[in-house]
Amino acid sequence: MADVDFNIKEEMKKPHLLTGGTFACAGCNPVLGIRLTLIALGRNVIMVNSSGCMTLTATWPFTPYRIPWVHGAIENGGSVAAGILMGLKALKKDKDTHVVVYAGDGATYDIGLQSLSGMIHRREKIIYICYNNCQFANTGHQCTSATEKYARTTTTPPPIGNPLPRKNMAKMMAMGGADYCATACVSFPFDFIRKLRKAAKVEGSVFIDLLSPCEPGWLVKPHETIKSGKLMVESGMWPLYEIEKKKITINHKPEMIPVKEALKIQGRFKHLTEEQIGEIQETVIKEWERITNGRFWEAEEY
Protein backbone atom coordinates (compact mmCIF):
# COMPACT_ATOMS: atom_id res chain seq x y z
CA MET A 1 0.00 0.00 0.00
CA ALA A 2 1.90 2.92 -1.32
CA ASP A 3 -0.08 5.80 0.11
CA VAL A 4 0.03 4.47 3.64
CA ASP A 5 1.63 7.10 5.74
CA PHE A 6 2.28 4.55 8.44
CA ASN A 7 5.55 3.14 9.64
CA ILE A 8 4.84 0.20 11.88
CA LYS A 9 8.41 0.16 13.24
CA GLU A 10 7.98 3.73 14.47
CA GLU A 11 4.60 3.06 15.98
CA MET A 12 5.90 -0.02 17.80
CA LYS A 13 8.16 2.16 19.92
CA LYS A 14 5.30 4.26 21.26
CA PRO A 15 3.54 3.35 24.51
CA HIS A 16 0.12 1.78 24.42
CA LEU A 17 -2.70 4.31 24.57
CA LEU A 18 -5.15 1.51 25.29
CA THR A 19 -3.71 -0.99 27.72
CA GLY A 20 -4.83 -4.52 28.45
CA GLY A 21 -6.85 -5.76 31.35
CA THR A 22 -10.24 -4.79 30.00
CA PHE A 23 -13.45 -6.73 30.45
CA ALA A 24 -13.64 -7.43 26.72
CA CYS A 25 -13.84 -11.03 25.53
CA ALA A 26 -10.70 -12.79 24.39
CA GLY A 27 -10.20 -11.94 20.74
CA CYS A 28 -12.54 -8.96 20.86
CA ASN A 29 -12.33 -7.03 17.60
CA PRO A 30 -14.07 -3.81 18.71
CA VAL A 31 -11.36 -3.30 21.36
CA LEU A 32 -8.80 -3.90 18.65
CA GLY A 33 -10.59 -1.21 16.67
CA ILE A 34 -10.02 1.26 19.51
CA ARG A 35 -6.35 0.30 19.63
CA LEU A 36 -5.98 0.83 15.90
CA THR A 37 -7.79 4.18 16.17
CA LEU A 38 -5.40 5.36 18.84
CA ILE A 39 -2.39 4.03 16.94
CA ALA A 40 -3.57 6.00 13.92
CA LEU A 41 -4.55 9.24 15.63
CA GLY A 42 -2.17 9.36 18.58
CA ARG A 43 -2.60 11.11 21.89
CA ASN A 44 -4.60 14.14 20.89
CA VAL A 45 -7.89 12.33 20.90
CA ILE A 46 -10.97 12.82 23.03
CA MET A 47 -13.01 9.67 22.69
CA VAL A 48 -16.75 9.60 23.19
CA ASN A 49 -18.35 6.27 23.79
CA SER A 50 -21.96 5.27 23.33
CA SER A 51 -23.26 2.63 25.71
CA GLY A 52 -22.28 -0.80 24.58
CA CYS A 53 -19.61 -3.42 25.09
CA MET A 54 -16.88 -0.82 24.89
CA THR A 55 -18.33 1.11 27.83
CA LEU A 56 -17.26 -1.71 30.09
CA THR A 57 -13.65 -1.58 28.95
CA ALA A 58 -13.23 0.94 31.75
CA THR A 59 -14.78 0.09 35.10
CA TRP A 60 -14.04 2.12 38.16
CA PRO A 61 -11.30 2.35 39.42
CA PHE A 62 -9.60 0.79 36.42
CA THR A 63 -9.20 2.53 33.11
CA PRO A 64 -7.24 1.19 30.15
CA TYR A 65 -7.32 4.59 28.39
CA ARG A 66 -4.39 6.96 28.26
CA ILE A 67 -6.49 9.56 26.48
CA PRO A 68 -9.52 11.49 27.72
CA TRP A 69 -12.56 9.27 27.35
CA VAL A 70 -16.18 9.84 28.18
CA HIS A 71 -19.32 7.80 28.14
CA GLY A 72 -22.63 9.62 27.85
CA ALA A 73 -25.58 7.46 26.92
CA ILE A 74 -26.39 5.15 24.05
CA GLU A 75 -28.19 7.43 21.61
CA ASN A 76 -26.10 10.55 21.76
CA GLY A 77 -22.53 9.83 20.67
CA GLY A 78 -22.75 12.46 17.96
CA SER A 79 -24.23 15.16 20.16
CA VAL A 80 -21.93 14.63 23.15
CA ALA A 81 -19.05 14.93 20.70
CA ALA A 82 -20.64 18.06 19.24
CA GLY A 83 -20.81 19.48 22.76
CA ILE A 84 -17.18 18.63 23.42
CA LEU A 85 -16.16 20.28 20.18
CA MET A 86 -18.22 23.32 21.12
CA GLY A 87 -16.48 23.46 24.49
CA LEU A 88 -13.05 23.08 22.92
CA LYS A 89 -13.83 25.85 20.44
CA ALA A 90 -14.98 28.12 23.25
CA LEU A 91 -11.78 27.41 25.17
CA LYS A 92 -9.72 27.69 21.96
CA LYS A 93 -8.34 24.19 22.37
CA ASP A 94 -9.87 22.66 19.27
CA LYS A 95 -6.73 22.86 17.13
CA ASP A 96 -5.03 19.48 16.70
CA THR A 97 -7.51 17.73 18.95
CA HIS A 98 -9.59 15.02 17.35
CA VAL A 99 -12.99 14.33 18.80
CA VAL A 100 -13.74 10.71 18.04
CA VAL A 101 -16.99 8.87 18.64
CA TYR A 102 -16.71 5.14 19.02
CA ALA A 103 -20.20 3.70 18.99
CA GLY A 104 -21.69 0.32 18.29
CA ASP A 105 -23.93 -0.48 15.37
CA GLY A 106 -27.08 -0.49 17.48
CA ALA A 107 -26.14 2.95 18.79
CA THR A 108 -25.41 4.16 15.26
CA TYR A 109 -27.84 2.49 12.89
CA ASP A 110 -30.81 2.50 15.22
CA ILE A 111 -31.16 4.53 18.40
CA GLY A 112 -28.41 7.07 17.75
CA LEU A 113 -29.20 7.85 14.12
CA GLN A 114 -30.65 11.24 15.04
CA SER A 115 -27.58 12.54 16.82
CA LEU A 116 -25.32 11.13 14.13
CA SER A 117 -27.31 12.70 11.33
CA GLY A 118 -27.35 16.05 13.15
CA MET A 119 -23.60 15.92 13.62
CA ILE A 120 -23.05 15.02 9.96
CA HIS A 121 -25.47 17.69 8.80
CA ARG A 122 -23.75 20.43 10.77
CA ARG A 123 -20.44 19.20 9.34
CA GLU A 124 -18.81 19.19 12.75
CA LYS A 125 -15.16 18.20 12.73
CA ILE A 126 -15.78 14.88 14.39
CA ILE A 127 -14.69 11.37 13.43
CA TYR A 128 -17.56 8.98 14.01
CA ILE A 129 -16.51 5.35 14.03
CA CYS A 130 -19.21 2.73 14.17
CA TYR A 131 -17.80 -0.56 15.37
CA ASN A 132 -20.16 -2.79 13.57
CA ASN A 133 -20.55 -6.24 15.02
CA CYS A 134 -23.96 -6.53 13.44
CA GLN A 135 -25.89 -6.81 16.70
CA PHE A 136 -26.55 -5.39 20.16
CA ALA A 137 -23.73 -7.46 21.59
CA ASN A 138 -23.61 -6.09 25.12
CA THR A 139 -27.19 -7.03 25.96
CA GLY A 140 -26.79 -10.51 24.58
CA HIS A 141 -26.72 -10.35 20.79
CA GLN A 142 -30.06 -8.96 19.67
CA CYS A 143 -30.91 -7.98 16.12
CA THR A 144 -30.14 -4.44 14.89
CA SER A 145 -30.67 -2.92 11.48
CA ALA A 146 -27.01 -3.73 10.77
CA THR A 147 -27.61 -7.47 11.08
CA GLU A 148 -27.26 -9.42 7.86
CA LYS A 149 -30.26 -11.11 6.34
CA TYR A 150 -30.96 -14.58 7.75
CA ALA A 151 -28.39 -14.16 10.56
CA ARG A 152 -29.23 -15.70 13.87
CA THR A 153 -29.53 -13.38 16.83
CA THR A 154 -31.35 -13.90 20.10
CA THR A 155 -34.34 -11.92 18.82
CA THR A 156 -34.28 -13.53 15.39
CA PRO A 157 -33.80 -17.20 16.19
CA PRO A 158 -33.62 -19.92 13.54
CA PRO A 159 -35.11 -21.38 11.41
CA ILE A 160 -35.87 -18.01 9.78
CA GLY A 161 -33.25 -15.75 11.31
CA ASN A 162 -33.29 -12.05 10.54
CA PRO A 163 -35.88 -11.48 7.81
CA LEU A 164 -34.60 -8.01 6.86
CA PRO A 165 -31.53 -6.91 4.94
CA ARG A 166 -29.11 -4.44 6.53
CA LYS A 167 -29.09 -0.70 6.06
CA ASN A 168 -26.32 0.83 4.00
CA MET A 169 -25.16 3.36 6.55
CA ALA A 170 -22.05 4.66 4.79
CA LYS A 171 -24.14 5.52 1.75
CA MET A 172 -26.80 7.13 3.90
CA MET A 173 -24.26 9.31 5.68
CA ALA A 174 -22.51 10.23 2.43
CA MET A 175 -25.86 11.35 1.05
CA GLY A 176 -26.52 13.18 4.33
CA GLY A 177 -23.47 15.38 3.91
CA ALA A 178 -20.51 13.60 5.49
CA ASP A 179 -17.28 15.00 4.09
CA TYR A 180 -15.56 11.66 4.28
CA CYS A 181 -17.27 8.34 4.49
CA ALA A 182 -15.72 4.90 4.46
CA THR A 183 -16.24 1.29 5.28
CA ALA A 184 -13.43 -0.58 6.95
CA CYS A 185 -12.75 -3.86 8.64
CA VAL A 186 -10.60 -4.63 11.65
CA SER A 187 -9.09 -7.50 9.67
CA PHE A 188 -7.56 -4.92 7.33
CA PRO A 189 -5.77 -2.73 9.88
CA PHE A 190 -3.55 -0.89 7.40
CA ASP A 191 -6.55 0.13 5.35
CA PHE A 192 -8.36 1.31 8.50
CA ILE A 193 -5.35 3.24 9.79
CA ARG A 194 -4.86 4.90 6.41
CA LYS A 195 -8.51 5.93 6.37
CA LEU A 196 -8.25 7.35 9.86
CA ARG A 197 -5.15 9.36 9.01
CA LYS A 198 -6.97 10.68 5.98
CA ALA A 199 -10.02 11.44 8.12
CA ALA A 200 -7.85 13.37 10.57
CA LYS A 201 -7.03 15.84 7.83
CA VAL A 202 -10.63 16.30 6.70
CA GLU A 203 -12.18 19.63 7.72
CA GLY A 204 -15.62 18.27 8.37
CA SER A 205 -17.57 15.30 9.55
CA VAL A 206 -16.29 11.78 9.02
CA PHE A 207 -18.16 8.51 9.21
CA ILE A 208 -16.36 5.19 9.21
CA ASP A 209 -18.28 1.94 9.38
CA LEU A 210 -15.87 -0.53 10.89
CA LEU A 211 -16.82 -4.18 10.61
CA SER A 212 -15.58 -5.82 13.81
CA PRO A 213 -16.41 -9.50 14.19
CA CYS A 214 -17.76 -10.44 17.59
CA GLU A 215 -16.63 -13.76 18.95
CA PRO A 216 -19.68 -14.74 21.06
CA GLY A 217 -22.15 -13.04 18.73
CA TRP A 218 -20.95 -14.46 15.46
CA LEU A 219 -20.31 -17.78 17.16
CA VAL A 220 -16.73 -17.98 15.97
CA LYS A 221 -13.67 -19.09 17.90
CA PRO A 222 -11.62 -16.26 19.47
CA HIS A 223 -8.67 -16.77 17.11
CA GLU A 224 -10.97 -16.85 14.07
CA THR A 225 -12.43 -13.35 14.47
CA ILE A 226 -9.85 -11.75 12.20
CA LYS A 227 -10.23 -14.54 9.69
CA SER A 228 -14.03 -14.27 9.64
CA GLY A 229 -13.77 -10.54 9.00
CA LYS A 230 -11.33 -11.18 6.20
CA LEU A 231 -13.69 -13.70 4.64
CA MET A 232 -16.57 -11.22 4.85
CA VAL A 233 -14.50 -8.75 2.84
CA GLU A 234 -13.07 -11.26 0.40
CA SER A 235 -16.48 -12.73 -0.37
CA GLY A 236 -17.79 -9.27 -1.21
CA MET A 237 -20.26 -9.20 1.68
CA TRP A 238 -18.45 -6.21 3.18
CA PRO A 239 -16.90 -4.15 0.38
CA LEU A 240 -14.18 -1.74 1.47
CA TYR A 241 -14.63 1.68 -0.06
CA GLU A 242 -14.39 5.35 0.72
CA ILE A 243 -16.60 8.17 -0.44
CA GLU A 244 -15.36 11.72 -0.89
CA LYS A 245 -17.59 14.33 -2.44
CA LYS A 246 -19.95 11.61 -3.68
CA LYS A 247 -17.05 9.89 -5.46
CA ILE A 248 -16.65 6.29 -4.47
CA THR A 249 -13.23 4.62 -4.46
CA ILE A 250 -12.84 0.91 -3.93
CA ASN A 251 -9.92 0.24 -1.62
CA HIS A 252 -9.73 -3.48 -1.84
CA LYS A 253 -10.74 -5.69 -4.71
CA PRO A 254 -12.28 -8.78 -3.15
CA GLU A 255 -11.43 -12.21 -4.46
CA MET A 256 -15.18 -12.89 -4.59
CA ILE A 257 -14.86 -16.26 -2.94
CA PRO A 258 -18.25 -17.99 -2.56
CA VAL A 259 -20.21 -16.52 0.36
CA LYS A 260 -20.70 -20.07 1.55
CA GLU A 261 -17.06 -20.09 2.62
CA ALA A 262 -17.51 -16.89 4.61
CA LEU A 263 -20.76 -18.04 6.21
CA LYS A 264 -19.49 -21.51 7.09
CA ILE A 265 -17.07 -20.23 9.71
CA GLN A 266 -19.77 -18.24 11.52
CA GLY A 267 -22.10 -20.19 13.79
CA ARG A 268 -24.83 -17.60 13.36
CA PHE A 269 -25.37 -18.74 9.76
CA LYS A 270 -25.33 -22.47 10.52
CA HIS A 271 -29.07 -22.86 10.03
CA LEU A 272 -29.08 -21.48 6.47
CA THR A 273 -30.46 -23.59 3.66
CA GLU A 274 -28.77 -23.83 0.26
CA GLU A 275 -31.53 -21.65 -1.12
CA GLN A 276 -30.90 -18.89 1.38
CA ILE A 277 -27.17 -19.02 0.76
CA GLY A 278 -27.91 -18.77 -2.94
CA GLU A 279 -30.00 -15.67 -2.31
CA ILE A 280 -27.25 -14.04 -0.29
CA GLN A 281 -24.74 -14.87 -3.02
CA GLU A 282 -26.98 -13.30 -5.62
CA THR A 283 -27.43 -10.10 -3.60
CA VAL A 284 -23.69 -9.83 -3.03
CA ILE A 285 -22.91 -10.15 -6.72
CA LYS A 286 -25.62 -7.63 -7.61
CA GLU A 287 -24.38 -5.16 -5.01
CA TRP A 288 -20.79 -5.52 -6.18
CA GLU A 289 -21.88 -4.85 -9.76
CA ARG A 290 -23.74 -1.75 -8.66
CA ILE A 291 -20.65 -0.40 -6.89
CA THR A 292 -18.27 -1.14 -9.72
CA ASN A 293 -20.56 -0.05 -12.56
CA GLY A 294 -21.18 3.42 -11.18
CA ARG A 295 -24.72 2.64 -10.06
CA PHE A 296 -23.92 2.92 -6.36
CA TRP A 297 -26.18 5.92 -5.82
CA GLU A 298 -29.23 4.32 -7.33
CA ALA A 299 -31.99 3.23 -5.00
CA GLU A 300 -31.52 -0.27 -3.71
CA GLU A 301 -33.99 -3.01 -4.43
CA TYR A 302 -35.37 -4.98 -1.55
Partner 1 sequence: MIDILDGNACAAWGARRAKVQCVPVFPITPTTEIIETIAAWKADGKFPGEFVVLESEHSAASACLGASMTGARTFSATSSQGLLLMHEMLPIISGCRTPMVLTTVSRCLSAPIGLWPDHNDTLAMRDAGWIMLICETNQEVLDSVIMAYRISENPKILLPVIVNMDGFVHSYTRTEVDVPEQKLVDKFLSHPELEVRLDVKKPMTLGIPAMGLDYMRYRQQLHKAMLDSFDVVDNVQKAWAKVTGRKYEFLDEYKTKDAKAVIVMIGANSTIARSAVDKMRKKGKKVGLLRIRLFRPFPEKQLRKALEKIDNIAVIDQNICPGMGGILYPEVKMALSGCKNVVCNYIQGLGGNFVSEDDYVDILNDVLKAKADDRKWQM
Partner 2 sequence: MLSKIIKEKDIKNLGKKGIPHAVEKQQLIERANWRTFKPVIDYDKCIKCGMCWLHCPDAAYDFNKEGFPVCNSKVCKGCLLCVEVCPVKCISVEQERGKLHKK
Per CB under 8 A, residues contacting partner 2 are 8-9, 11-13, 16, 18-22, 24-29, 31-32, 35-36, 39, 58, 60-64, 66, 189, 215, 222-227
Cβ 75 to partner 1 shortest distance, Å: 7
How many alpha carbons lie under 13 Å from residue 104 in its C-beta half-sphere? 31
Query: Given the complex with partner 1, which of 98 and 194 has the nearer CB atom?
Result: 98
297 binds, among partner 2, partner 1, none (CB under 5 to 8 A by kind): none
Query: Given the complex with partner 2, which of 94 and 224 has the nearer CB atom?
Result: 224
27 binds, among partner 1, partner 2, none (CB under 5 to 8 A by kind): partner 2
Residue 121, interface with partner 1 (CB under 8 A)? yes
Residue 81, interface with partner 1 (CB under 8 A)? yes
Residue 43, interface with partner 1 (CB under 8 A)? yes
Residue 89, interface with partner 1 (CB under 8 A)? yes
Query: Given the complex with partner 1, which of 72 and 213 has the nearer CB atom?
Result: 72
Residue 167, interface with partner 1 (CB under 8 A)? no
* 45 Cβ contact list (under 8 Å, min separation 6): 17, 37, 38, 67, 68, 97, 98, 99, 100
User: In 10 A of CB 294, how many CB atoms?
Assistant: 9
| Interface with partner 1 (CB under 8 A), residue from 1, 4, 11, 44 | 44
User: Which residues would be at the binding site for partner 1 (CB under 8 A)?
Assistant: 43-46, 48-49, 55-56, 58-61, 63, 65-73, 75-76, 78-91, 93, 97, 114-115, 117-118, 121-122
